[in-house]
Structure 1
Amino acid sequence: MTNRTRDPRDRGADGRAQNQRPRDRYGRPLPYGTPGVPRVPDDAVFTPAEGLAEAQRLLEEGYAFHAHEVLEAVWKASEASERELWRGLAQVAVGLTHAQRGNAVGAVRLLRRGAERVAGYGPDAPHGVDAAGVAAYGRAAADRVEAGQADRVDPAGLRLTRAQSV
């Protein structure tokens, strides 16, 4: 006879695992009942324009983990031809998260991987994404982390879209 214990993970109505614990500004789980940073809901849906605007706002405020969650939501709902772009953007943001958390190995790996994915879209990337700028930022941030200068990696410096001419 097997002694089964209840799965301690949070579950959504569909039975899928969802971590509902509060999070700090870097996305690290906090104990239940601790005040945390407002989270992007697991079922959030963003258009590409909404996702870029919200992710940019979060990056400018230093919330790279939360920007990653927004970009990931767009990635999961995007057309097949754009998935790698959104995946790359999310990877750059989560690479910044690892840098903020002090995980140099993870930061460098994800910043470079995301930069390469985004760079493949070139100057005609959809939705005004500055693929070349994001790729350059990701590579430069990875270089700084490798040089032991993770404290010089500022999420607010990442611009996701090309400047609009007036």
Structure 2
Amino acid sequence: MNTRDRDAEGRARSARPRDGLGRPLPYGAPGVERQPEGVVRSPAQTVREAQRLLDAGMPFHAHEVFEDAWKSAPGAAAAPLWRGLAQLAVGLTHAARGNPVGGARLLHRGAAGIEGLDGRPYGVDVAGLVRWARELAGRVADGGPAVDAAREAPRLAGGLE
């Protein structure tokens, strides 16, 4: 008997509530509203929504917004930006969950993925985010305590504040 949770399309998807960092909670526990999947947003809407979630200390949810942009972006030109930003957000998620190895690895991977992008695509401060990611990855990899996701949230359009 298959008792896995399924979404409306029949795909396996846990119905357990999640906390702000995307960790599953027990069934029936209050959780954070999930980001709907497959939402097509303009680049500006993507940056605004992801920034809102990052500022709220919910980088896992921001990662899902970037993932939607990555999967729905027309052509391949914007994919490296959205994929790299998704990796930065999930790196922050792991760092905030107390997983320094995974956090540092994903922060470095995301930084490497966006590092060569020209200018400020969609207003995103690529150079500032690369600096932020590498600095945070270094602190996390050195075995520091789990980070506060809201306090460490980057400014997508302006690097660190």
2:160 counterpart of 1:161 = no
Q: CA deviation at 1:151?
A: 3.9
Separation in structure 1 between the aligned mates of residue 113 and residue 101 of structure 2, nearest angstrom: 19
Rg comparison, structure with higher value: 1
Match of 1:83 in 2: 79
Count of residues paired in the alignment: 157
Task: Give me the TM-score of the superposition, normalised by structure 2.
Answer: 0.88
- Alpha-carbon distance in structure 2 between the residues aligned to 1:43 and 1:83: 15
TM-score, normalisation: structure 1: 0.86
Deviation per residue, 1:101-139 (Å, 9 max, x gap): 1111110110000011111213x2421111111111111
Flag the structure with more relative contact order, 1 or 2, with Cα contacts below 8 A and sequence separation at least 6. 2
Are residues 152 and 161 of structure 1, via their aligned partners in 2, closer, same or farther at CA, if it must alter by over 3 Å? same
Tell me whether 1:103 sits opposite 2:99 in the alignment: yes
Deviations 1:8-65 (A, max 9, x none): 3322333322223210111101122111011101233322111110111111111111
User: Quick one: distance in 2 between partners of 1:139 and 1:155?
Assistant: 18
Q: Quick check: 2:19–2:25 contact (8 Å CA) kept in 1?
A: yes
Q: 1:137 and 1:155 mapped to 2: Cα distance?
A: 14
The residue that corresponds to 2:48 in the other structure is 53
Q: Does 1:149 align with 2:144?
A: yes
RMSD (Å), alpha carbons: 1.8
Whose helix proportion is higher, 1 or 2? Answer: 1
Q: Which runs of 5+ in 1 are unaligned?
A: none
Secondary structure of the 1:81 match is coil
Identity %: 52
